[in-house]
Amino acid sequence: MSFLNQKFVKSLTQLSDELLVQDTRLSRTIELVHDARCTLGEAPRYVAREHALYWVDIPEAALWRLDLASGVARRRVFAESVVTLAARRSGGLLLAMASGFALLDHFEATPVAFGPRIDPDRPDNRLNDGRCDAEGRFFIGSMNKKKPAADGGLFRLDPDGSVDCLWRGALTANGIAFSPDGAAIFLSDTPQHATFRAPYDPSTGAIGAFAPFAQFPLGKGRPDGGSVDQAGDYWAGLYDGGRVVRLSPQGALLEEIPIPARHVTMIAFGGRDWRTAYVTTARQATTDEELSRFPHAGGVFAFEVDMPGLPEPLFAG
């Protein structure tokens, strides 16, 4: 079933009108963590055992690592784009590349292919955003790069390297996150300005039917990567929207946080108490005038939150 042409009960604009008594643009101190100047920065991941932050620059096929104790940042480039990642329970990283997966024992190691290629018969498709569930399975969405068809899907990579396609029907499957109790999975279709939620069975790794969670107004930013905090609020970066939004478990708009970049790509939590929100941004499709206003576009930003985020699950493979 496709997300296209669905009718939604409420948009975020309507929800904002209902919440006029609440100031959604709360004051936050936004800090520049690293001026990476990424073309398309994505997938911030805090790895607690290293006290390090990882992220990727998709068009540049680059993986970044920032040691948060020393402030030393390192970057390496691969033969194929890295689109997202997860830390592994056994050490090292799981890398999701454009067409499949690889294991990386440490930052400088040679990547080792893991599992099958994804959608080899769909040359216009690539993998996109992903995240582990609490049991150590890795869920990842795909996208159609030319966007003529809603044939992006949602895949589950099991620790043994097997892959199942759980659902197909998005232009760009993005924003994957799980509720605190593990009973729901979130997914956005970025070009459709929409975020959805489905029941999830953590004992089997199966999902139910996706239902509308939030419809974002046209022209004010599109939902990209997202994360959930320990209260169950869903946070999303708005590409072309210059901000992060926080939504209640019912999809109501609670807060908007302006970020000094036009293209905000993803928010994820980290720090030793999981109270630091890390935000990646993009420099692509940014005019000279916008760069004069946002010179650190493509960088990684951070701000503190009151409610801790969910600790990032580790891949069990």
Catalytic residues: 224
Q: How many angstroms separate the Cα of 134 from the Cα of each of 110, 163, 245, 274?
A: 27, 17, 24, 16
Strand order in the sheet with 31-34: 31-34, 300-304, 276-282, 263-270
Is residue 69 within 8 A of residue 58, CB to CB? The reply is: no
Alpha-carbon span 7 to 46, nearest angstrom: 37
Amino acid, single-letter form, for residue 10 = K
- Is residue 159 within 8 Å of residue 315, measured between CB atoms? yes
Coarse DSSP helix, strand, coil percentages of the chain, rounded to the nearest 5 percent: 5, 50, 45
DSSP conformation class of 102: E
Distance between CA atoms of residues 78 and 293, nearest Å: 32
Measured CA distances, 198 to 8, 182, 186, 188 (Å): 15, 11, 7, 11
Chain centroid, CA 166 distance in Å: 19
- Rounded to 5°, the CA angle 274-279-285 comes to 170
DSSP 3-state assignment of 150?
A: coil
What is the dihedral angle through the alpha carbons of 74, 77, 82, 88, rounded to the nearest 10 degrees?
-50
